[in-house]
A = this chain, B = another copy of it.
Amino acid sequence: MEIRVVATIAAKPEFKAQVTEALLEVIEPSRQEVGCLQYELHRDLDKEGAFVFYERWKSEDALNQHNKTEHFQRFAASLEGKLDELTIRRLKTLA
C-alpha cells in the first residue's frame, strides 16, 4: 500500500538559510531510494521560511527505510533547534 507524507516545516528566522540548504540537500538522495515515488519540496507563498514536502512511498517499509538512511538522519540532526514547526503527516489516498 502506497504511503504518502506531507511534512510542514517552519524555520526560525535566524536559521532560514541553513534550513533551506538542508531541505534542498536531502532531496536528491531521497529520490534515489528504490521505494521513493515522489519527493517534492515547496515553499509557502504566504509565510516566510515555511516549507512543505509532498512525498509518495511504495510502502510503509519504504518510508521506514528512508527514515533510517544516513542522508535522512544527517538531515534531521541538522534541523535540530532551528525550527519553529515540524509536522509530519502519514497519509493514504482516499480519492
- Contacts from A to B (Cβ < 8 Å): 3-4, 6, 8, 23-24, 27, 40-47, 50-52, 54, 89-95
Contact = CB atoms under 8 A, between A and B. Distances in A.
Q: Is the interface of A mostly helix, strand, loop or mixed?
A: strand
A75 to B, nearest CB: 14
Contacts of A40: 93, 95
Nearest to A42: B91
Contacts of A3: 45
A21 B92 CA distance: 17
**A-B pairs with the 8 shortest C-beta distances?**
A42-B91, A45-B90, A41-B94, A41-B95, A43-B94, A27-B95, A44-B89, A6-B52
